[in-house]
Amino acid sequence: MNTTAQPSPEVLRNQLIDTIVRERVAGLYDPQVEEAMRTVPRHEFLPAVSIETAYTNEAVTIKDNPAEDALPFSCASKPDVVFFMLVQLQAREGHRIFEIGAGTGVNAAYLRRLVGPTGHVITGDIDSDVTAYARKTLDATGYGDIEVITRDGALGAEEYGPFDRIIATVGVWDPSPAMRNQLTPGGRLVLPLRWRGLTRSVALVREPNRHRSDSVKVCGFLPMIEETEEHSGYIDDDHLTRLFWDYDQPIDPTALRAAITQPATLAWSETTVGPVESFDGVWLRMSATDPATCRITVKQPAVDAGLRRPANPNLGPALVEGDSMAYLTLARLPSEEGAVPRFRLGAAAYGPAGETLAERLCTQITAWGDDRTAEPVISLYPAGTPDDQLTDGYVIEKPSTRMVISY
């Protein structure tokens, strides 16, 4: 008989938060967020999984999507991502907050702890199953005063506003006028912003003529269901290699099918990374400079069949123009036995213009390598804002916003 005592939920929760605080994956910290996450019983919002699973630093699916290669409909986000997004939000006593994406309800509970007895939290989701779940868990855990509404988050919640803070826990491609305008002057909007296939948690402050970022951090979130401006398609008949791009990019994945049957042409930068060093900033710089930037995902059988391995097969940057493509790759450098390995970053190119695309990609690798901690400023202006009223930077046009990325 196994008589070993299992750690209590409180012990497991504190161990998880200890790890998050120690590692600080985004370099952000707020003692009030730490207190909230140590207090709210996350496992009670995830009754379908074990307590041990509830306190691992992993996302937990609460509603699956049966479609091929599709992401789940709803998840409980990774706790370390939840932590730094709450730090970005800077929620304080008395604030009125709208959360877009109700999930399990646990994030709304954290927010309720942060705003205190004089604050107010509204959480919403387009999926009635999700809001019913959140309503049930919030009631069961003593957070019955949190408003839970079923609607498209892009519409906001004007009847409860204006808001000091708005946070989205689903990926947002084009922040709607309601998201931006229902925020008080000087208020903060934190959302997983999507563009050119990547996602970043961006904290934006409302200014008189724009929303300007003061924090841009790596994250991954499910996209909003109603947004359709992001496209995807396979470049092979076996559905092993897939591109993701925006509606304004003239990308036809079928045009690459001949090119990827040929050996890759390789180009290398002088930039190297260690085995655990992030190089996500390369993609961010590409998106701020090159209109051909998109995302590529590659399944292992495609690599086994001869396709050059992308630097990150599950989530990597590429440049695509017509029948040509280049994507980020890496190669291990020779090293002495026992030494920490280093990897050189470069590009794998296909098609007639592949070498030119590879050179462009390597230029951005080098720019990132020269300043690896640089964080861009992202500004969101209403659609139709004249060019002379925009800050300097690279402009990405979206239906309701003009997004400017400046380094």
Residue 293 and residue 189 in one domain? no
Residue 234 and residue 271 in one domain? yes
Alpha-carbon gap, residue 248 to 251, rounded angstroms: 9
Instruction: Enumerate the active-site residues.
Output: 77
Residue 266 and residue 310 in one domain? yes
**Quick check: is 14 in a domain?**
yes
The pLDDT score that the predictor gives to residue 34 is: 98
Domain that holds residue 140: 9-218
Alpha-carbon gap, residue 28 to 89, rounded angstroms: 11
| Strand extents, DSSP E, 22-160 | 60-63, 74-76, 96-100, 120-125, 147-150
The pLDDT score that the predictor gives to residue 2 is: 54
How confident is the model over 273-309, as pLDDT tens digits?
A: 999 899 999 999 999 999 999 999 999 999 988 888 8
The pLDDT score that the predictor gives to residue 62 is: 66
**Quick check: is 246 in a domain?**
yes
How confident is the model over 197-226, as pLDDT tens digits?
A: 999 999 999 999 999 999 999 987 766 655
**Quick check: is 223 in a domain?**
no
Residue 129 and residue 237 in one domain? no
Count: domains in the chain: 3
Residue 107 and residue 239 in one domain? no
For the ranges 6-10, 37-41, 69-73, 258-262, the maximum mean pLDDT occurs at 37-41
β-strand partners of 18: none
Confidence tier at 60 by pLDDT (50, 70, 90):
confident
Residue 194 and residue 278 in one domain? no
The pLDDT score that the predictor gives to residue 337 is: 84
Residue 74 confidence (pLDDT) above 70: no
* Cβ count near 147 (within 10 Å): 16
Residue 168: which CATH number? Answer: 3.40.50.150
Residue 208 and residue 241 in one domain? no
* DSSP secondary structure, 259-310, as one string: GGGSPPEEEEEEEEE-TT---HHHHHHHHTT-TTEEEEEE-HHHHHTTPPPB
Residue 169 and residue 257 in one domain? no
**Quick check: is 225 in a domain?**
no
Residue 89 confidence (pLDDT) above 60: yes
Residue 49 and residue 158 in one domain? yes
CB 217 within 8 A of CB 84: yes
Residue 76 confidence (pLDDT) above 80: no
Residue 244 and residue 391 in one domain? no
The pLDDT score that the predictor gives to residue 59 is: 85
Residue 270 confidence (pLDDT) above 60: yes
How confident is the model over 335-387, as pLDDT tens digits?
A: 888 889 999 999 999 999 999 999 999 999 999 999 999 999 999 999 999 99
Instruction: Over range 127-145, report the average pLDDT.
Output: 96
Mean pLDDT rounded to a whole number for the chain: 93
